[in-house]
């Protein structure tokens, strides 16, 4: 492998909807660069990327994979990513370390929802982007339609560097308007023959070429003046101008390829090699403290771990980018996230599942190491004495939640341990041990995401996992007011227990008037751990209850609020006024008043028009225009409140407030309704009143469970 410096590195990530042909295109790129001697296929399960058993079983990319190829004088690192939005975490982490995004579109299907999703992150990271309209050999390939859709969604900065001379099953020629030449490929693909552009295409090719010249002139000082004087630019001047335009995201070039037939990938590789920015030419990385770290091999060493995974017989494998300095085996780095010292015992570069040892990696390069004890995804590691922490990757909120269980308590322990190991690898997966719901909840991006976890648990850990719909974290409150008194008395020989409490319970909200008819001695308004507030008023006069029992009385109220009388859910937004009671000089103690307070609160709460609250989520759906009616109809069956509609590109955006109880399996339903062409996001909004008919059903169900 050739030695490299930072200027000779190119880091590209291939993005796009599932089925756009990323894995096949990468195979061709590696073959064209001489990294492999024979091209594999997804069907024969022998591609450099997609090498895991799970990917072989499913026939799709599930994980991001790192590869490289040497092209002329440069090393091009390539990262393949999944196309399903269920695995968006792999895309986010890969984009974090890439310097150029290659967005692959299916020439037959146009711009699909998976491309919409990745574009949001391309914009967020301000990554230079190249578009590739792939599968031009497909019988239904439509270059013009796909390009038009891409411009509608991603803007007029998209400019074709190429277009197909013919497309569909007869595709074998590409007109390159940057070099003003036609590439004609042999039937088996590979190296093309350069031919003059046919006369019938010259007018169109010249118009496209002039558009590129204008972009180049606008983005490089001095070229605009020359362009006005001479009306054209040399090939070197043109390359210089579009290099700047690409780096500044003022220009997104469009290529055409057939990854399957090996047509056009060599030209794409040449463009990446010549025009795409090196890590040194990208803006300095932002640190958490707002300072920056330039990609400089002469600086001290900093690396960022963007991905970890656990391999049998190997242990933890860490994928990283060297942000500054030079990393060598034996170096000791300090983890800025936890302060632990890590020794980098081995260094590798990855070619899919294969790893090759190297003696060093320079700033900007991607690498792999194994058996870090304390290093995890999103961690920054520095040379000793440095205090740098890279801004962490931010992942989308989960869109699906399932309660998980195993067939036995012993298996449940194994299951939870295995889930936490997978959670460490996958930042979009969250394992929650809910004391409130008394369930283990798995949060993910979609049903496919969780199904994959289930499959991995069985294959890698030998543990079977069962899914069920999780309980809903309802809240209970009151809309009225009631008084209650409760006496706790117990005598069992010797000292007994005695406590009597009179209290008023009512709904509480900020800014409400103080209670009337009460002699307020002390008040305490506190935020509850589960949300909402408890306002506690001590209104005892004449010493009927000693102040020393205040703590016990509050504890009794809190215990009852943790399991409300309607459904056993947490109570919130309640004002309690303790205004009278009795105590005994011998038998009264903390436990007596704790139990008395609990009983009085329960009775008063039930007589204060109790009301159930449910969590409501803000949901945004992007779907094709023709599916809008069906999507809205489905939402209405879920008790959704449609709050707005908007257009985004050629998609319709539906904005709604939907109860969490109605969002079970929504991802699967939406995929079914739209044929997989829609996406949605959801975020907690607030708690709202449950409709009376729903509340009655929930209360009956809880009562039945209590009896059982």
Task: State how far the Cα of 152 lies from the Cα of 135, in Å rounded to an integer.
Answer: 21
Q: What is the pLDDT of residue 313?
A: 79
Q: What is the pLDDT of residue 315?
A: 83
**Which DSSP string do the residues of 582-598 spell out, in sequence order?**
E--TTT--HHHHHHHHH
The DSSP bridge pattern shows strands 439-444 and 522-527 to be unpaired
Q: Is the pLDDT of residue 571 over 60?
A: yes
* CATH node for 294-383: 2.40.30.10
Which pLDDT band holds residue 494 (cuts at 50, 70, 90)?
low
Q: What is the pLDDT of residue 670?
A: 93
CATH number for domain 7-190+251-281, candidates 3.40.50.300, 3.40.50.12780, 3.40.50.1370, 3.30.365.10: 3.40.50.300
CB 654, CB 670: distance < 8 Å: no
The DSSP letter of residue 300 is: P
Long-range contacts of residues 455-460, Cβ cutoff 8 Å, at least 24 apart: 455/54, 455/57, 456/54, 456/422, 457/415, 457/418, 457/419, 457/422, 459/53, 459/54, 460/312, 460/418
Task: State how far the Cα of 535 lies from the Cα of 524, in Å rounded to an integer.
Answer: 6
The DSSP letter of residue 626 is: G
Q: Which residues contact 79 (CB under 8 A, 6 or more apart)?
A: 11, 12, 13, 14, 64, 65, 66, 67, 94, 97, 98, 366
**Which DSSP string do the residues of 391-402 spell out, in sequence order?**
PPP--PPP-EEE
The first and second tokens of residue 166, run together, are 């013919």
Domain ranges of the chain: 7-190+251-281, 294-383, 400-468, 476-608, 613-699
What helix, strand, coil percent values describe the chain, rounded to 5?
A: 30, 30, 35
**Closest residue by Cα to residue 505 from 557, 443, 574:** 574
Residue 495: what are its φ and ψ, rounded to 5°?
Answer: -65, 140
Which pLDDT band holds residue 493 (cuts at 50, 70, 90)?
low
Length of the chain: 708
Kindly report the three-state secondary structure assignment for every residue of 490-518.
ECCCCCCEEEEEEEEEEECCCCCCCCCCC
**Closest residue by Cα to residue 297 from 381, 387, 366, 364:** 364
Q: What is the pLDDT of residue 168?
A: 93
Residue that the structure tokens 């991006």 belong to: 445
Q: What is the pLDDT of residue 335?
A: 97
Task: State how far the Cα of 289 lies from the Cα of 292, in Å rounded to an integer.
Answer: 9
Reported as a single tens digit per residue, the pLDDT across 316-368 is 899 999 999 999 999 999 999 999 999 999 999 999 999 999 999 999 999 99
Handedness of CA 645, 648, 650, 654 (dihedral sign): negative
Residue that the structure tokens 């205004």 belong to: 579
Q: Is the pLDDT of residue 1 over 60?
A: no
Q: Is the pLDDT of residue 655 over 90?
A: yes
Long-range contacts of residues 631-635, Cβ cutoff 8 Å, at least 24 apart: 631/670, 631/673, 631/674, 631/678, 634/669, 634/670, 634/673
Beta strands in 252-405 (DSSP E): 252-256, 285-286, 292-293, 302-311, 315-324, 326-327, 332-335, 341-343, 348-351, 354-357, 361-362, 366-370, 380-383, 400-405
Please name every residue paired with 681 in a beta bridge, in sequence order, or none if there are none.
620
Q: Is the pLDDT of residue 6 over 90?
A: yes
Task: State how far the Cα of 313 lies from the Cα of 363, in Å rounded to an integer.
Answer: 30
Q: What is the pLDDT of residue 3?
A: 54
Residue that the structure tokens 């295109």 belong to: 25
What percent of the chain is modeled with pLDDT above 70? 98
Residue that the structure tokens 């990757």 belong to: 393
Q: What is the pLDDT of residue 586?
A: 87
Task: State how far the Cα of 209 lies from the Cα of 247, in Å rounded to an integer.
Answer: 20
Average pLDDT over residues 298-308: 96
CB 472, CB 614: distance < 8 Å: yes
CB 506, CB 601: distance < 8 Å: no
CA 113 vs. chain centroid, Å, equals: 15
Task: State how far the Cα of 441 lies from the Cα of 160, in Å rounded to an integer.
Answer: 48
DSSP 3-state assignment of 613? strand
Per the prediction, the chain carries an average pLDDT of 93
Reported as a single tens digit per residue, the pLDDT across 28-82 is 999 999 999 999 999 999 999 988 888 888 888 999 999 999 999 899 999 999 9
Reported as a single tens digit per residue, the pLDDT across 463-483 is 999 999 999 999 999 999 999
The first and second tokens of residue 558, run together, are 């809190």
Reported as a single tens digit per residue, the pLDDT across 577-617 is 999 999 998 899 999 999 999 999 999 999 999 999 999 99
Average pLDDT over residues 531-535: 95
Q: What is the pLDDT of residue 220?
A: 73
CB atoms within 10 A of CB 628: 18
Q: Is the pLDDT of residue 229 over 70?
A: no
Reported as a single tens digit per residue, the pLDDT across 73-94 is 899 999 999 998 899 999 999 9
Reported as a single tens digit per residue, the pLDDT across 550-559 is 999 999 999 9
Which pLDDT band holds residue 227 (cuts at 50, 70, 90)?
low
End-to-end CA distance of the chain: 70
Reported as a single tens digit per residue, the pLDDT across 402-423 is 999 999 999 999 999 999 999 9
DSSP 3-state assignment of 423? helix
Domain 476-608 class, CATH top level: alpha beta
Beta strands in 16-128 (DSSP E): 65-71, 74-80, 100-106
Architecture of domain 400-468: 2-Layer Sandwich (3.30)
Average pLDDT over residues 109-123: 88
Residue 657: what are its φ and ψ, rounded to 5°?
Answer: -110, 120
Task: State how far the Cα of 672 lies from the Cα of 658, in Å rounded to an integer.
Answer: 19
Domain 613-699 has CATH 3.30.70.240: yes
Q: What is the pLDDT of residue 373?
A: 92
The first and second tokens of residue 474, run together, are 């309802």
CA 361 vs. chain centroid, Å, equals: 29
Q: Is the pLDDT of residue 2 over 60?
A: no
CB 130, CB 245: distance < 8 Å: no
DSSP 3-state assignment of 106? strand
Q: Do domains 7-190+251-281 and 400-468 have the same CATH topology?
A: no
């Amino acid at each position: 492998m050739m030695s490299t410096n930072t200027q000779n590195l190119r880091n590209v990530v291939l993005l796009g909807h599932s089925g756009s042909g990323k894995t096949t295109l990468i195979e061709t790129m590696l073959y064209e660069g001489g990294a492999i001697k024979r091209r594999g296929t997804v069907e024969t399960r022998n591609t450099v990327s997609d090498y895991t058993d799970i990917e072989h079983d499913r026939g799709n990319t599930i994980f991001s994979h790192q590869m490289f190829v040497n092209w002329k004088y440069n090393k091009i690192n390539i990262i393949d990513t999944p196309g399903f939005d269920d695995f968006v975490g792999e895309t986010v982490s890969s984009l974090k370390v890439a310097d150029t995004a290659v967005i692959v579109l299916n020439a037959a299907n146009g711009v699909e929802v998976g491309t919409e999703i990745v574009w949001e992150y391309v914009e967020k990271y301000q990554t230079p982007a190249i578009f590739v309209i792939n599968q031009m050999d497909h019988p239904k390939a439509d270059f013009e339609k796909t390009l038009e859709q891409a411009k509608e969604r991603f803007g007029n900065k998209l400019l074709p560097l190429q277009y197909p001379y013919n497309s569909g099953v007869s595709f074998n020629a590409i007109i390159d308007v940057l070099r003003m030449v036609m590439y004609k490929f042999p039937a088996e693909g590979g190296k093309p023959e350069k031919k003059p552009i046919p006369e019938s295409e010259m007018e169109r090719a010249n118009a496209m070429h002039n558009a590129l010249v204008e972009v180049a002139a606008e983005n490089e000082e001095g070229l605009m003046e020359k362009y006005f004087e001479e009306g054209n630019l040399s090939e070197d001047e043109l390359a210089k101008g579009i290099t700047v335009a690409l780096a500044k995201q003022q220009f997104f070039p469009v290529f055409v390829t057939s990854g399957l037939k090996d047509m056009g990938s060599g030209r794409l590789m040449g463009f990446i090699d010549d025009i795409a920015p090196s890590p040194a030419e990208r803006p300095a990385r932002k640190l958490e403290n707002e300072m920056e770290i330039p990609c400089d091999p002469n600086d001290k060493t900093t690396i960022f771990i963007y991905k970890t995974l656990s391999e049998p017989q190997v242990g933890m494998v860490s994928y990283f980018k060297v942000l500054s300095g030079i990393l060598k085996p034996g170096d000791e780095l300090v983890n800025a996230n936890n302060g632990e010292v890590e020794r980098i015992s081995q260094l590798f570069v990855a070619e899919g599942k294969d790893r090759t040892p190297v003696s060093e990696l320079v700033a900007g390069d991607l690498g792999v190491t194994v058996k870090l004890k304390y290093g995890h995804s999103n961690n920054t590691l520095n040379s000793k004495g440095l205090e740098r922490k890279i801004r962490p990757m931010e992942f989308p909120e989960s869109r699906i939640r399932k309660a998980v269980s195993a067939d036995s308590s012993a298996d449940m322990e194994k299951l939870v341990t295995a889930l936490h190991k997978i959670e460490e690898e996958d930042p979009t997966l969250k394992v929650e041990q809910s004391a409130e719901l008394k369930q283990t909840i798995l949060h993910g991006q979609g049903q496919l995401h969780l199904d994959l976890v289930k499959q991995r648990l069985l294959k890698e850990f030998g543990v079977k996992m069962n899914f069920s719909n999780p309980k809903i974290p309802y809240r209970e409150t009151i809309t009225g007011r009631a008084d209650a008194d409760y006496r706790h008395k117990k005598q069992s020989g010797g000292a007994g227990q005695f406590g009597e409490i009179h209290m008023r319970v009512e709904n509480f909200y900020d800014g409400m008037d103080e209670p009337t008819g009460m002699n307020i001695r002390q008040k305490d308004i506190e935020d509850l751990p589960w949300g909402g507030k408890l306002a506690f008023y001590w209104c005892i006069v004449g010493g009927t209850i000693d102040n020393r029992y205040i703590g016990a009385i509050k504890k009794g109220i809190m215990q009852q609020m943790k399991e409300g009388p309607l459904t056993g859910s947490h109570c919130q937004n309640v004002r309690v006024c303790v205004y009278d009671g009795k105590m005994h000089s011998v038998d009264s103690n903390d436990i007596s008043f704790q139990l008395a307070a609990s009983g009085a609160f329960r009775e008063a709460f039930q007589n204060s028009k109790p009301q159930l609250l449910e969590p409501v989520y803000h949901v945004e759906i992007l779907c094709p225009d023709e599916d809008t009616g069906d999507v809205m109809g489905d939402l209405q069956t879920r008790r959704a409140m449609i709050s707005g509609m908007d257009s985004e590109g050629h998609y319709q955006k539906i904005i709604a407030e939907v109860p969490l109880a109605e969002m079970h399996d929504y991802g699967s339903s939406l995929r079914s309704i739209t044929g997989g062409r829609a996406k949605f996001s959801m975020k907690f909004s607030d708690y709202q009143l449950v409709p009376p008919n729903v509340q009655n059903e929930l209360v009956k169900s809880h009562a039945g469970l209590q009896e059982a």
